[in-house]
Chains A and B, each alone.
Chain A
Amino acid sequence: MIEFLSALDQILSITHLTYLIAGVLVGLVVGIIPGLGGIAGMSLLLPFLYGMEPSVGLGMLMGLVAVIPTGDTFTSVLMGIPGSSSSQATVMDGFPLAKKGQAARALSAAFLSSMIGGVVGAVVLSVFILVARPVVLAFSSAELFMLTLLGLSVVAALSGGNVYKGLAACGFGLLVGAIGGAPATGEFRFTLDIDYLYDGIPLVVVGLGIFALPEIISLLVKNSAIASSPNKLGHGLKQGFKDVFQNLPLVGKSSIFGSLIGAIPGLGGSVVDWMTYSFAINSSKDSSQFGKGDIRGVIAPESANNACASGSMIPTILFGVPGSGAAAVFLGGMLLLGIQPGVSMISTHLDLTYTIIWSLALANILGAIFCICFTRPISLLTYIKFSILTPIILTLILFAAYQATRSLGDFILLGVVATLGIMMKGANWPRPAFLIGFVLSSGAENYFFQSIQFYGYDWFLRPGVITIAALIIVGFVLPPILKRRKQKMKPEQLAQDKEQNSMTKTVSWTDWGIIAVMGGSATYALINIWDASTLTKAFPIIAITIVLFSIVMIVSKYIREKHTKVSSDLAMNLVYIVGFFFIAYGYYLFGFISTTFVFSLLFLRFLAKASYVKSTTIAIGLVIFLVTMGRVMNVDFPEGLFDPYLLSAIKTVI
């Protein structure tokens, strides 16, 4: 207790606060810029760490880690681009809200729930850290495997009434996630001898391709502002706060769940938002608005991801095993400060641990306050004609994708995934199902084999495993029962559901296209993997089976039941995708910064019909942004043919 209070006293000193705020500001910036996350922010701060007072350095790092899940909400809501991997679920309802002209509401609700989530996470951490060791150790590979299954089971809730489409998408995600080294043997799968694929496919690119780019393109096709309806009074900041207070139970549950998932190394932050999102769907009386702009779809993941960032400190501090990417870098920072993680952190260095916790709480509060200050001006962006924003957003997306592995492969993959994303969006296939399958693929496979190798086949008798299995079953059984009860109470709801059912009974050429892509890839994968060793091919074959089985079910449904043929008008979208490939290649070939300038200028002037002054200003602004990023953050861009000249010209000027 004494340590607890003296740590508070310590972080309220001027030095500490200054560094903490510095960390918070850096964290917000890297959170806001898509593609940069904790790792980029840490690289920025690490050079200052060596030789710093440990508690001050820790405060600064914590300031950064804590607010990344706060700042990343901006682009998720305003542009449909996940600001970092922990706010992908926020896009689902945050972006539709922005389209309704309620960006400010979505953002303020998100920031307030982020703050509450972060503080709850810090509280859980301070209580839990003293007893956490045995709890963390209780989660063996078997329980971790069951947790990934629990994560996968949320696909059902996100499938929007068409379970087989969800299953197929999820199975396909599992299969795509299996590209690269097999965890059980180290052999490589589906690499097609392309170097890029050996490491597996980066999550950042998949997230951008499956969500962001399809949204951007469909907005371009429409060419209106993001917000299609004008903002009504009372739908701004205050409304967002009200929404949070009305949903406090949801905030509390999501926060506690988030910090616990964060505390268990192995699942990671990119799933927790989806799990709480589906949890919000399942626990709400009327879930018809999810995906169309339900504020609860923003509140749940945003509470969870900040709490998760706090929770992921537990395994990092106690075991030196990071629970997330940002935590991994934090661990490096600890080592640079000369602090060794481990049991000593709750015995001899308890004061440092409490410094970390207080810094977390304080940083979350500060970060949310900063963000709320900027909410109103920034949310006005959604009223600008979209074609003006296009070059800015496209540059951001390409920038973010290139940070994944810094190769041309990132751009190509982005285009390929985006093509799939556009088709899935056009034909109403659940994109989150694909993403969740992808995210959990390696974990599921890894923990499955590990638990079999460690425990043989009686691992499913472990109490922890049985508990989680029960949870999964409850998750499947409970929502339909609740629904039925609800329908007894409201007959008009029944009519609505019927209407929805007839809505889902449509089929278009795009559906057949997706079926062809998934079926074809799965068949090819099956032939490709057939000769590999058992441990290498077992998991992909499970994924392939899921895909093929679901596809057979979907097709047979098409044959048995009458489906209305609808035309899906994707031709224009696909033209844009082809255009995207060319532009992306241009960015790579001619140099990122020069192409940004030329493309933005031409696009704004001739396609968006902006004035010369406006076009030039935006283009120059983008160049300044990129050059600054390159200088300050040590970020690399494809140099191409012209960038070296351009950069040396800029150097002589500045």
Chain B
Amino acid sequence: MTQLNNAFTLFLSLLVEAMPFLLLGVLLSSVLLLFIDEQKLIARLPKNPLLGALVGSMVGFLFPVCECGNVPVARRLLMQGVPTPVAIGFLLAAPTVNPIVIWATWTAFRDQPEIVVLRIALSLIIATIVGWVFSVQKDLKPLLQPAIAKSWEYNFSPTQDFKKSTQASPLLQSGTFLLNQPGQMVRMDATVLQASLAATAPTKPLSDRLRLLVDNTIQELRELGAVLVFGSAIAAFIQVAVPREVILNLGYGPVTSIIAMMLLAAVVSICSTVDSFFALSFSSTFTSGSLLAFLIFGPMIDLKAIGLMLSIFKPKAVIYLFALAAQLTFLFTLFINLQII
């Protein structure tokens, strides 16, 4: 009974702490999605793969989403014709390299500023490298989910009516896609972003935009809030059910500590806006490298995000992303543990 009560208290404490950050993230992302013209943004992106990946990794500053929010945005970017390295860089880095997460990390690790700096720097580097590697694949279609590739084709019909486009026969159209035409809408089959897409049409009056802002905020809050409830429940369960000694014993070795924390990050699937508070509870006993591994790897890949990513990519591509990100995180944080960097 005590255990249950403790687990519930922990669960509530994680949620109460995370909810304001989630709200802030959702509000900011809604505001930016509604008031930033993506078409212009895309037009200015560099074509060079390495530079593109780097810029993509930093676009998170404009779309401050956690790893639950970045997948729909990355998918939309891909569909709108953003170069692959930019989209992959964004997908991996945006959950970490954004003002809210940086602020939250700073709040939690004020005593260890090096954690904050290294988290951002290493996330940028890893996301850029992975984005760059993916630029070798010029045509991303073989790696995309067939549903996406297909919807890609019939989504570029010049209608913004959701019902019409779903009822339209999914006949293959010829290979020319009409991109960047003013006023043309692209239907997202997933999602929360539909409303915001509609809102970016320049003809919409402000009151409509505000209404859509509230709608978008509510939808993201509902979706991400539910994922957060799951994440917190798992985290609370692990904290109560697994004696700390078991975890702490893993935390001493330079290699085992990193593997343990990466595993934990993948399993717990806690949102990047709040994961630094979670890591804080391990900070006393784990090596800095392993804490960084948790903070870098978790936002890129976790159980919850894999589910979301499978809505864009085929499993093969997700495995590539996973393996590359894991290896790079492991290497860099091992260097830190061994004090090579």
A, B from the same assembly: no
**B residues at A contact (CB < 8 Å):** none
